[in-house]
Amino acid sequence: MCVVEDLGGGYLGGKRVFVELDAQERDRYGRVLAYLYLEDPRGDFHHGGKRYRQVNLEIVRAGWANPLTIPPNVRYAELYLEASREARAKGLGIWGGAPQGTGSRKGCDPAYPTVCLPPPPPDLDCKDIPYRGFGVLPPDPHRFDRNRDGVGCED
């Protein structure tokens, strides 16, 4: 799955961008916590007299990410949660059914709609499968979604 391609290939190519930090620059794992903006005359955000789209929000709106907010980094939490609800309701991205051309879903557990994984037994762990970052629905019999954010095998 290529998020950039799905959002329209060449997403950032040659366009002006800027980065906005939240309350903290990095999380406890050392990852940069930033919002990335792409210049777009139709964008919802304004900066320096220009309009921008927030790339992070576009990815959530397209259904390729489920927001996780940890205080104090909550500047756009409500906006992200609403975008995620809409993407789920529309069945976009990871919230959609099986990808086209995957054939029959026979033998595939419905808790994992974007990949084909067998129901238990045996119980599987992330190390046992080739997939990462796939959609997970309750009841998640293999417990791939440890933090219950709807995305399996994120680590």
Tell me how many degrees the CA angle 61-63-65 measures, rounded to the nearest 5. Answer: 95
Integer Cα distance of 38 and 19 in angstroms: 9
Query: What kind and span of H or E run contains 87?
Result: helix 77-90
Torsion on CA atoms 67, 72, 73, 76, rounded to nearest 10: 70
Q: Are 75 and 23 in contact (CB under 8 A)?
A: yes
pLDDT score of 13: 62
Give the pLDDT of the chain (155 residues) as one tens digit per residue: 333 434 444 455 667 788 999 999 998 888 888 999 988 888 889 988 998 989 899 889 888 888 888 889 999 999 999 999 999 888 888 888 655 444 457 889 988 888 899 999 999 999 999 988 888 888 899 999 888 778 889 86
Supply the pTM of this predicted model. Answer: 0.58
Q: Which residue has the tokens 């557990």?
A: 109
What is the rounded distance in angstroms from the CA atom of residue 106 to the CA atom of residue 127? 23
Contact 100, 111 (CB under 8 A): no
Structural domain boundaries of the chain? Answer: 3-95, 97-155
Type of residue found at 2: C
The fold of the 3-95 domain, in CATH, is OB fold (Dihydrolipoamide Acetyltransferase, E2P) (2.40.50)
